[in-house]
């Protein structure tokens, strides 16, 4: 071949680099909030194309060359499912979004009462079913490499290893960048969309070349087909039905398909576009399969591998560049499948296996200490590496042999075992957890016994004698002739028994059993998702402290998201600050948000540790039982009304409390002013009278004069503060706004606040502070000095420490000051920013005007200062508007 191995490798690397860039750019756009095309129906449709793996890219032609038209069932099944989107996929996507489903294992677990056991079961099934599939992709990439190198230059196993390692790297980089609240991986989805285009273009190019370049037009192709070994359609009816069913099922149940279709879905209406656009994609992918197959059969030497016709046909006509395109197309098919499968599996493993174990191991304290996000992310990264390692191992052990299609179909039937539990869960409220588990186990065992183990290859696990006579010569247990049904195609046979018994056991056990309260509640939520998608109550009121919940939520959702959620909820309840009332609605919402990160079962268990058992109340069950839509409507209206009344009452109560507090404070303010003025005055008056008398030594005289001086200064300072505050409060302040870097302001404040030798350690991340602000630097410094000096004064830890963190937040930035002391009791959060509200009885130098002044200054600077609960120590957050870079840039250009 004229294409050198090195050139091929270079193309491969360049293409991978391109994907990295695409993924990176998409992530960046998404982060900046400019989603645009990233969430268009086109990208969604193209991302679904990971259904077409290397198996379909190379294998479809091989399949057609062996068995004629049967290959097309693999595409027809999904077509039927997606054109029927209104019936099922729409419901699935709606549930996925409403319940924050993270994977298919999570869906099953969530539907059947947030059961951990079911989650584990489905995860295991998915891992076992997907591993051979990943091996298949690695094999196809190495195989296509070897076509170019004639098996000579590159060592095949090392190629596989490099591909696996590269894929692991890519997936970890873009799949576990952050623990996204809704598990959207914009970078990866966009890269996959690009790959989808590449593989379609590649296959269409070969097709067009074959039809018009080789055969000489469509009519000639038909003649060629009629002249080929596959001219007669040899349909095996049993396989035809089975394959249609399996492909349709797999399209929904394959972990990677569920990932792109449900989890990554950003808009339900995208499904409507995909309903016709995706079948169109599939049609285009399979349009030229038969022509390529017949041309391959006609042109290539007998005995050449039909799975590589797509590559070998262009090469046979010396079209190296076309072959290169095909190679990249195959590479795309393989890589995109592996990446998404690895993400989907790692999510399942981390949420359904690692998290429950971790939670169990740290019973009790898991909710309040330790970094959950890091545990989850690390678990995901390890799982990705693990899944790819498994795939590579399988590829090495299986020797990379066997027709591609066989492995693919074995995997299809494996994941299809989820179907009865899934469909039952979506449409039948009577489906129970025990039924689902029993059905899954039965189907799983039969699949392993009747198809998976025999499929690995005769003699590896099951001997030929075992296959022929059954275990212990028990005839009706023969893996390929269960219960004496002999003579069927092995795939049809295994499908019949595994899915048939799976569904039957599922239904029978469900009919006989009785579901638990949470199962019934979830069942109703799922089945009636279109009816009840607004009102639901999953928990009875609890005594959980909002602050504890916030502490936990921060460690799962991330500080910013958790604070935003709490603040928004509090605002909706008509409260200021970060701590809403802990209502059952709020708990429900929180649990759902958390489920988006760690899965339904784990979120439920974690919340349960804080908020109590999460028992379902009688009222909840009555709601489930109550089918009458009108009653429902009426009670919802009443509920909304009473909720509104409650909210108004709460607002009034809060306003009243505030007014009373203010009036008390006004009195207190006057007497405080009086006290603060008279105290230094007393010393001044007493000593000045003493000084007026004669007969005192010089030393005493100097000391008394010094006291008078100090007290006079104290008076001046107090008057300055008062003036400052009154000027600020009246808004007669002149701001000298300049562009200044945040880190400079903090530097100055730290130096000034700690100049008198306070023993306070300050921890900062200077890199985060490199932000430009357009603000009055002196005033801002004054605020920071005040907060830092307060921490130095009041922090009661043995070795006081102050953490200053800076984070972007929408248009502004948050500067958080968090010390490691005992914090401020909740009852005082509301008053610390008022004048003279020094904490407790203890009197400490300073008039207690500091925070009041800070609040006024920050308000003038267009920001906000607040107390941040749930951080361990006392924590203050200063929120500031950031300089508008865009505006500056435009101004300087113009």
Partner 1 sequence: MGKRVLLIEDEPNIVEAVRYLLTREGWAVDTHSNGATALDAVARRRPDVIVLDAMLPGRSGFDILRDLRTAPDTSAIPVLMLTARGQRRDREMAEAAGASRFMTKPFSNSDIVDCLRELGGHDAA
Partner 2 sequence: MPPDPPRDAPLFLARATYRRRRLMDAARLLPVVGAVLFLLPMLWFVSGGTRTAVGGLYLFAIWTGLIVIAAILSRVLVRGEAGGRGRDGPDAAP
Q: Minimal distance in Å, beta carbon 48 to partner 2?
A: 14
Q: Smallest distance from the beta carbon of 306 to partner 2, in angstroms? A: 15
546 binds partner 1 (CB under 8 A): no
| Binding partner at 685 among partner 2, partner 1, none, C-beta below 5 to 8 Å by kind | partner 1
d(CA 635, CA 618): 16
CB of 689 to partner 1, least distance (A): 4
Position 98 contacts partner 2 (CB under 8 A):
no
Q: Record the tokens describing residue 250, joined without a space.
A: 């797999």
Closer of 230 and 874 to partner 2 (Cβ) = 230
794 binds partner 1 (CB under 8 A): no
Question: By C-beta, is 284 or 670 nearer to partner 1?
Answer: 670
Could you say whether residue 273 binds partner 2 (CB under 8 A)?
A: yes
**Position of tokens 């018994």?**
501
Burial class of residue 519, CB neighbours in 10 A (0-12, 13-18, 19+): buried
Among 272, 389, 406, 733, binds partner 2 (CB under 8 A): 272
Decide: is 671 part of the binding site for partner 1 (CB under 8 A).
Answer: yes
User: Contacts with partner 2 in 283-322 (CB under 8 A)?
Assistant: 283, 287, 290
Residue 709 binds partner 1 (CB under 8 A): no
Q: Are 773 and 735 in contact (CB under 8 A)?
A: no
Which one of 150, 401, 474, 689 is in contact with partner 1 (CB under 8 A)? 689
Largest CA distance in the chain: 134
119, 132, 175, 279: residue in contact with partner 2 (rule CB under 8 A): 279
CA dist 434 to 513, 516, 843, Å?
A: 8, 10, 65
Report how far residue 534's alpha carbon sits from residue 517's, in angstroms, rounded to the nearest whole number: 20
How far is the C-alpha of 461 from the C-alpha of 438, rounded, in Å? Answer: 26
- The number of residues making up the chain comes to 894
Q: What residue 87 binds from partner 2, partner 1, none (CB within 5 to 8 A, per partner kind)?
A: partner 2
845 forms part of the interface with partner 1 (CB under 8 A): no
Instruction: Evaluate whether 155 touches 5 at the Cβ level (below 8 Å).
Output: no
Structure tokens, 87: 């019936």
Compute and round to an integer the Cα radius of gyration of the chain: 35
Report the alpha-carbon distance of residue 545 to residue 551 in Å, rounded: 10
Instruction: Give the one residue of 241, 618, 686, 713 binding partner 1; rule: CB under 8 A.
Output: 686
Contacting partner 1 (CB under 8 A), which of 661, 707, 809, 826? 707
Report if residue 251 touches partner 2, rule: CB under 8 A.
Answer: no
Residue 679 binds partner 1 (CB under 8 A)? yes
Contact 444, 125 (CB under 8 A): yes
Nearer to partner 1, 702 or 710 (CB): 710
Select from 101-109, 375-383, 428-436, 667-675 the region that touches partner 1 (CB under 8 A).
667-675
Taken in order 345, 346, 348, 354, the sign of the CA dihedral is positive
In the complex, what is the shortest distance from the CB of residue 845 to partner 1, in angstroms, rounded to a whole number? 11
Question: Which CB sits closer to partner 2, 258 or 288?
Answer: 288
Which of partner 2, partner 1, none has residue 283 at its interface (CB below 5 to 8 Å by kind)? partner 2
Site string for partner 2, 192-231 (x = CB under 8 A): ------------------------------x--xx-x-xx
**Residue 173 interacting with partner 1 (CB under 8 A):** no
Closer Cβ to partner 1, 90 or 835, answer by number: 835
Partner whose footprint covers residue 44, from partner 1, partner 2, none (CB < 5 to 8 Å by kind): none
Residue pair 58/140 in contact by the 8 Å Cβ criterion: yes
Phi and psi at 370, nearest 5°, equal 85, 155
Q: Does 266 bind partner 2 (CB under 8 A)?
A: no
Among 634, 685, 709, 888, the residue binding partner 1 under the rule CB under 8 A is 685
Report the nearest approach of partner 2 to the CB of residue 274 (Å). 9
Is 237 a binding residue for partner 2 by CB under 8 A? The answer is yes
- Parallel, antiparallel, or unpaired: how do β-strands 864-867 and 875-881 relate? antiparallel
Q: What angle do CA 482, 487, 493 make, to 5 degrees?
A: 50
Q: Is 305 helix (H, G, I), strand (E, B) or coil?
A: coil
Answer whether 36's CB lies under 8 Å from 29's CB.
yes
Burial label, 82 (beta-carbon count in 10 A; 0-12, 13-18, 19+): buried
Token digits for 835? 């004048």
Tokens coding 205: 């190019």
Rounded to 5°, the CA angle 23-24-29 comes to: 100
Element (H, E) at 739: strand 737-741
Choose, by CB under 8 A, the member of 2, 232, 799, 841 that binds partner 2: 232
Provide the minimum distance between the beta carbon of 766 and partner 2 in the complex, in angstroms, as a whole number. 49
Q: Contact 214/299 with Cβ under 8 angstroms?
A: yes
- The window from 156-164, 229-237, 377-385, 837-845 that contacts partner 1 (CB under 8 A) reads 837-845
Cα distances (angstroms) measured from residue 96 to each of 333, 342, 431, 524: 26, 20, 18, 15
For residue 817, what are the β-bridge partners? Answer: 804, 876
The site for partner 2, by CB under 8 A, has a size of: 37
Binder among 9, 11, 80, 403 for partner 2 (CB under 8 A): 80
Q: Rounded to 5 degrees, what are φ and ψ at 132?
A: -60, -30
Look at residue 150 and give its three-state secondary structure: coil
Calpha distance 482→751 (Å, rounded): 82
Kindly state the helix (H) or strand (E) to which residue 890 belongs, with its residue range.
Answer: helix 885-893
Q: Which is nearer to partner 2, 31 or 531 (CB)?
A: 531
Backbone angles phi and psi of 460, in degrees to 5: -75, -55
The alpha carbon of 652 is separated from its chain's Cα centroid by a whole number of angstroms, namely: 39
For residues 223 and 377, which CB has a smaller minimum distance to partner 2 in the complex?
223
Q: Does 664 bind partner 1 (CB under 8 A)?
A: no
| # of chain residues touching partner 1 (CB under 8 A) | 21
Q: Are strands 761-764 and 801-809 parallel, antiparallel or unpaired?
A: parallel
Rounded least distance, CB 168 to partner 2, Å = 37
Q: 429 or 717, CB closer to partner 1?
A: 717
Nearest distance from residue 65's CB to partner 2, in Å? Answer: 12
By CB under 8 A, is residue 56 in contact with partner 2?
no
Query: Considering the rule CB under 8 A, would residue 269 count as an interface residue with partner 2?
Result: yes
Cβ-proximal residues to 115 (8 Å cutoff; 6+ apart), any chain: 109, 433, 437, 601
- Cβ proximity to partner 1, 423 vs 707, nearer residue: 707
Residue 74: CB minimum distance to partner 2, A: 12
Other beta carbons less than 10 A from residue 44's beta carbon: 25
Among partner 1, partner 2, none, the one that 35 touches (CB under a kind-dependent 5 to 8 A) is none
Q: Under the criterion CB under 8 A, does residue 276 sit at the interface with partner 2?
A: yes
Residue 275 binds which entry of partner 2, partner 1, none, CB below 5-8 Å type-dependent: partner 2
Candidate segments 269-277, 305-313, 813-821, 831-839, binder of partner 2 by CB under 8 A: 269-277
The token pair at 390 is 């498994």
**Which stretch in 115-123, 276-284, 334-342, 541-549 sits in contact with partner 2 by CB under 8 A?**
276-284
* Three-state secondary structure call for residue 368: coil
All residues at 6 or more sequence positions from 685 whose CB lies less than 8 Å from its CB, including other chains: none
The item of partner 2, partner 1, none sharing an interface with residue 309, based on CB under 5 to 8 Å by kind, is: none
Q: Applying CB under 8 A, does 698 fall inside the site for partner 1?
A: no
Q: Is 35 in the site for partner 2 (CB under 8 A)?
A: no
Distance CA 824, CA 635 (A): 41
**Positions that interact with partner 1 (CB under 8 A):** 670-671, 674-675, 678-679, 681-687, 689-690, 707, 710-711, 841-843
**Positions that interact with partner 2 (CB under 8 A):** 68-69, 72, 76, 79-87, 222, 225-226, 228, 230-235, 237, 240-241, 244, 269, 272-273, 275-276, 279-280, 283, 287, 290
């Amino acid at each position: 071949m004229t294409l050198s191995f090195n050139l091929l490798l270079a193309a491969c690397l360049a293409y991978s680099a391109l994907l990295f860039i695409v993924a990176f750019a998409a992530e960046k756009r998404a982060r900046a909030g400019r989603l645009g095309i990233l969430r268009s129906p086109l990208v969604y449709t193209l991302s679904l194309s990971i259904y077409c793996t290397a198996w379909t890219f190379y294998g479809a032609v091989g399949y057609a060359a062996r068995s004629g038209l049967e290959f097309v069932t693999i595409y027809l099944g999904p077509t039927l499912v997606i054109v029927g989107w209104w019936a099922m996929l729409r419901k699935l996507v709606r549930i996925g979004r409403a319940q924050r489903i993270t994977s298919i294992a999570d869906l099953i677990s969530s539907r059947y009462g947030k059961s951990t056991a079911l989650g584990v079961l489905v995860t295991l099934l998915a891992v076992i079913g997907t591993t051979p599939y990943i091996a298949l992709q690695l094999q196809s990439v190495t195989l296509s490499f070897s076509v170019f190198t004639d098996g000579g230059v590159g060592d095949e196993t090392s190629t596989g290893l490099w591909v696996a390692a590269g894929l692991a790297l890519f997936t970890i980089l873009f799949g576990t960048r952050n623990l996204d609240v809704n598990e959207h991986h914009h970078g990866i989805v966009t890269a996959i969309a690009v790959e989808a285009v590449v593989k379609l273009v590649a296959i269409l190019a070969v097709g067009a070349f074959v039809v018009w370049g080789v055969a000489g037009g469509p009519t000639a192709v038909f003649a060629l087909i009629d002249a080929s070994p596959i001219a007669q359609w040899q349909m095996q009816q049993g396989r035809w039905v089975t394959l249609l069913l399996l492909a349709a099922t797999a399209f929904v149940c394959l972990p990677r398909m569920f990932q792109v279709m449900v989890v990554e879905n950003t808009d339900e209406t995208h499904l409507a576009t995909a309903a016709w656009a995706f079948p169109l994609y599939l049609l285009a992918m399979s349009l030229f399969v038969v022509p390529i197959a017949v041309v391959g059969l006609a042109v290539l030497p007998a005995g050449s591998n039909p799975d590589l016709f797509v590559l070998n046909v262009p090469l046979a006509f010396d079209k190296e560049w076309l072959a290169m395109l095909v190679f990249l197309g195959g590479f795309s098919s393989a890589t995109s499948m592996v990446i998404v499968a690895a993400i989907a599996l790692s999510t399942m493993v981390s949420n359904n296996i690692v998290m429950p174990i971790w939670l169990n191991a740290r019973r009790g304290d898991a909710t309040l200490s330790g970094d959950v996000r890091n545990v989850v992310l690390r678990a995901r990264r390890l799982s990705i590496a693990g899944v790819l390692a498994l795939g590579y191992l399988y590829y090495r052990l299986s020797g990379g042999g066997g027709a591609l299609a066989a492995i693919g179909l074995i995997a299809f039937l494996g994941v299809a075992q989820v179907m009865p539990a899934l469909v039952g869960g979506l449409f039948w409220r009577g489906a129970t957890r025990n039924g689902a588990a029993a059905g899954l186990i039965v189907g799983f065992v039969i699949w392993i016994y009747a198809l998976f183990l025999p499929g690995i290859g005769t003699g590896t696990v099951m001997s030929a004698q075992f296959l022929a006579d059954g275990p212990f010569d028990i005839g009706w247990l023969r893996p390929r002739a269960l219960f004496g049904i002999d003579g069927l195609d092995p795939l049809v046979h295994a499908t019949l028994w595994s899915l048939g018994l799976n569904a039957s056991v599922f239904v029978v056990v469900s009919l006989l059993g009785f579901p638990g309260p949470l199962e019934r509640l979830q069942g109703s939520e799922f089945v009636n998702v279109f009816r009840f998608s607004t009102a639901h109550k999953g928990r009875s009121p609890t005594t959980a402290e909002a602050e504890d919940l916030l502490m936990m939520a921060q460690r799962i959702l991330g500080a910013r998201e958790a604070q935003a959620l709490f603040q928004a909820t509090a605002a909706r309840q008509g409260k200021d600050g970060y701590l809403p009332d802990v209502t059952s609605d709020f708990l429900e919402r929180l649990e759902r948000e958390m489920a988006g990160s760690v899965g339904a079962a784990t979120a439920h268990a974690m919340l349960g540790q804080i908020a109590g058992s999460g028992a379902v109340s009688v009222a909840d069950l009555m709601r489930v039982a109550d089918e009458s839509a009108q009653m429902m409507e009426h009670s919802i209206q009443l509920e909304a009304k009473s909720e509104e009344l409650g909210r108004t009452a709460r607002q009034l109560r809060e306003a009243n409390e505030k007014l009373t507090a203010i009036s008390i404070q006004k009195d207190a303010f006057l007497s405080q002013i009086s006290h603060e003025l008279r105290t230094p005055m007393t010393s001044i008056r007493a000593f000045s009278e003493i000084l007026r008398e004669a007969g005192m030594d010089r030393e005493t005289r100097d000391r008394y004069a010094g006291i008078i001086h100090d007290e006079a200064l104290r008076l001046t300072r107090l008057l300055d503060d008062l003036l400052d505050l009154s000027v600020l409060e009246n808004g007669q302040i002149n701001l000298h706004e300049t562009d200044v870097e945040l880190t400079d302001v903090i530097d100055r404040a730290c130096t000034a606040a700690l100049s008198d030798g306070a023993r306070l350690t300050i921890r900062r991340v200077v890199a985060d502070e490199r932000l430009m602000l357009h603000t009055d630097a002196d005033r801002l410094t004054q605020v920071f000095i005040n907060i830092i000096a307060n921490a130095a004064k009041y922090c009661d830890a043995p070795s006081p420490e102050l953490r200053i963190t800076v984070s972007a937040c929408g248009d502004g930035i948050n500067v958080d000051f968090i010390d490691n002391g005992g914090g401020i009791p909740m009852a005082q959060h509301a008053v610390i920013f008022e004048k003279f509200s020094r904490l407790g009885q203890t009197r400490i130098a300073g008039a207690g005007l500091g925070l009041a002044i800070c609040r006024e200054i920050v308000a003038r600077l267009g920001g906000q200062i607040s107390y941040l609960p749930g951080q361990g120590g006392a924590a203050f957050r200063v929120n500031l508007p950031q300089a508008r870079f865009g505006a500056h840039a435009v101004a300087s250009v113009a």
